[in-house]
Structure 1
């Protein structure tokens, strides 16, 4: 009897061991992303340069041939500095001619004075005629007017000679030359561009459509292209009223809040436009799943390392991203890829790179 009992117990044990236990659910590695809330809308990034707000296009006040240029592009000049010189031959000849006319008129004026005094003396002694005295005095006045005119002509010729030298009327930096030595220029023709470096601004070209719908609270973030750590903010000073026909862009000039010292004239910059918006959540398109007409995401329980589906509402979507109206909170972590192969409560392993 004891032997039979032992056989039965052994058989039951063997039968129990023969039943296969269900395999545990495999742990699935997933890519994930931490949910963040955005309150700024990025309107685009554009390249531009730092330019002077005030520029002067200078030219000679008289025509002539440029004899030499005294400075090159990029030179810093003080007020009154010499920029260029014309060949002064024509102006010198005009001055000599005016001085010759002045000497001739001065001789005539001296003679007219003597004649007027002589006629006055004769008239006072009673031997001179009134008509002769009147004629002498009239001649003196006419000669005096001619003398004044000759003196003015000399002064004008001297000024013309001085105008053969082009000087700055304020301190600045030479940014462009539009004429070379040996070139003949007319009076007032633009020869050199002089920029004032004390007030700088950022200059960019915006698409015409964006320029027309810029939000009133738009913020411009300006950074040097070679060193993004050098940056500041800016506001719009002016936007050209008409778009350029070739590029369909409108030039915008921005007033810099606190221009860094590294923002020199001509510095290449990158300008990012942003505007304040209602808080929203943006996720990659691969993070959502469409099931029975509903949109859901998979939220990771970081403590238990499991996932659960959650229904969400979309505001908009494009080829790469979706905007959510709600359903998830900033700081939560959701699966960003492979959502179609997950099950509720499934164990997952967060990829180390995506968890950073």
Structure 2
């Protein structure tokens, strides 16, 4: 029994020694899979997005041109009124009395003027007397017209169609000339206000197309037309642009709504080369990319000079590339110079999942 145990022990040691002596070398180095892309040329146009606010095309304060107590207000806040609609009325009694006095004085003066003119034709009055009564008739005519106008001004009409925004007084209150009775918003058309940075403002003549979109479901893009702009920056160092949209743009458009503004403009650097931002990595704070040699799948590091960063996740390259290279666009921070990689072939749009 003892001999059997010794033989088993010797056999185990023999197998163990042989196993260690025949150990296999380490696995080959891992070949990393990478996505690659061709270098693009910058397009002729670029788009930028901003946030804008819809405003009424105009808003006015409705006020009387005469003073006195308010007799009636015929609208309430939020009402839509058509052009020429009666908004409010002032107590007209004082102005009716004033018109009656002016009319009586007018009748008296015109009667006297007619008499003097007849006498003047007969050379019975002097030239001075004639000119005096003619001037008096003109003066009283002006006073009569003014009294008529003031009586008419006791009624306040809407100068255009729109919505009543605010009502500042009530029936019976006394108001002076020019005090705003109500605010009227013109909604026949709207304008959009948007603030843009100075770089784009300086090149505003290169803006080719501007559209806005409501922040609601199934909203479509609405074309905008430039109205004007402020040539001085605001407190945020931005320049305000005003764009107009027509009354039939979208029935859901109302003042105060926020909209997404898209501006398409012509690039000044359309000859630049463009690569994805994800293709860039930094070495000693200098931007670099990996270029793949397709013949042997070896990557090499190249220094580049970065230009403008675009809103679509791409960046222009000023120097370091010819334009015909193939670059790595993913996993760039895990690679080493002269490392062999495996290129991941892009999935065909007609063979999604690689089933064909």
**Normalised TM-score (structure 2):** 0.63
Distance 1:62 1:284, change over 3 A: same
Alignment of 1:83 with 2:76, yes or no, is: no
Partner of 1:3: none
The equivalent of 2:5 in structure 1 is none
1:164 paired with 2:154, answer yes
Distance 1:285 1:141, change over 3 A: closer
* Counterpart check, 1:187 vs 2:177: yes
Whole-Å separation in 2 of the counterparts to 1:101 and 1:258? 51
Q: What SS does the aligned partner of 2:65 have?
A: coil
* Partner of residue 306 from structure 2, selected from 270, 291, 315: 315
Match of 2:232 among 242, 246, 251: 242
Q: Contact 1:48/1:205 (CA < 8 Å) preserved in 2?
A: no
How far off its partner does 1:165 sit?
0.9
1:254: how far off? Answer: 1.6
**Hey, what does 2:190 align to over in structure 1?**
200
Match of 1:281 among 256, 274, 284: 274
**8 Å contact kept, 1:178–1:192:** yes
- Between the aligned partners of 2:293 and 2:251, the Cα distance in structure 1 is 46
Residue 296 (str. 1) matches residue 289 (str. 2):
yes
Tell whether the 8 Å contact from 1:221 to 1:272 is kept in structure 2 after alignment: yes
Could you report, residue by residue, the CA deviation over 1:70-90 in whole angstroms, capped at 9, with x for unpaired residues? 234443322211122223243
Contact preservation (8 Å) 2:165, 2:185: no
SS at match of 2:330: strand
Q: How many angstroms apart in 1 are the aligned matches of 2:89 and 2:104? A: 26
Q: For residue 63 of structure 1, what is the aligned residue in structure 2?
A: 67
CA distance in 1, matches of 2:54, 2:243: 11
Distance 1:44 1:293 in 2: 30
Write out aligned runs for 1:101-250 (5 A): 101=105, 105=108, 109=111, 134=124, 153-170=143-160, 172-174=161-163, 176-177=165-166, 179-181=168-170, 184-207=174-197, 209-210=198-199, 212-218=201-207, 219-227=209-217, 229-244=219-234, 246-250=235-239
User: Which residue of 345, 350, 356 corresponds with 2:340?
Assistant: 345
| Alignment equivalent of 1:49, drawn from 54, 75, 84 | 54
Q: CA deviation at 1:161?
A: 1.7
Write the deviation string for residues 97-125 of structure 1: whole angstroms up to 9, x where unpaired. 4355467x38x949x97xx99x9xxxxxx
Partner of 1:260: 249
Kept after mapping to 2: 8 A contact 1:232/1:259:
no
Tell me whether 289-298 or 258-267 shows the greater mean CA deviation: 289-298
Aligned residues: 312
Q: Where do 5+ consecutive residues of structure 2 fail to align? A: 1-17
Q: 1:251 to 1:22 in 2, by over 3 A?
A: closer
TM-score w.r.t. the length of structure 1 is 0.63
**TM-align CA RMSD:** 5.1
Inter-CA distance 217–79: structure 2 relative to 1 (3 Å threshold): same
**1:124-183 CA deviation, whole Å, 9 max, x = no partner?**
xxxxxx9xx948xx999988987886666455323312211111233x213644732255
Q: Is the 8 A contact 1:235 1:256 kept in 2?
A: yes
2:4 matched residue in structure 1: none
Secondary structure (helix, strand or coil) at the match of 1:346 reads: strand
Give the greater-gyration-radius structure (CA).
Answer: 1
Partner in structure 2 of residue 272 of structure 1: 262
**Cα shift readout 1:23-53 (whole Å, capped 9, x = no counterpart):** 244464668889766534455523322432x
User: Could you tell me which residue of structure 2 aligns to residue 5 of structure 1?
Assistant: none
* Structure 1 gaps, min length 5: 1-13, 120-129
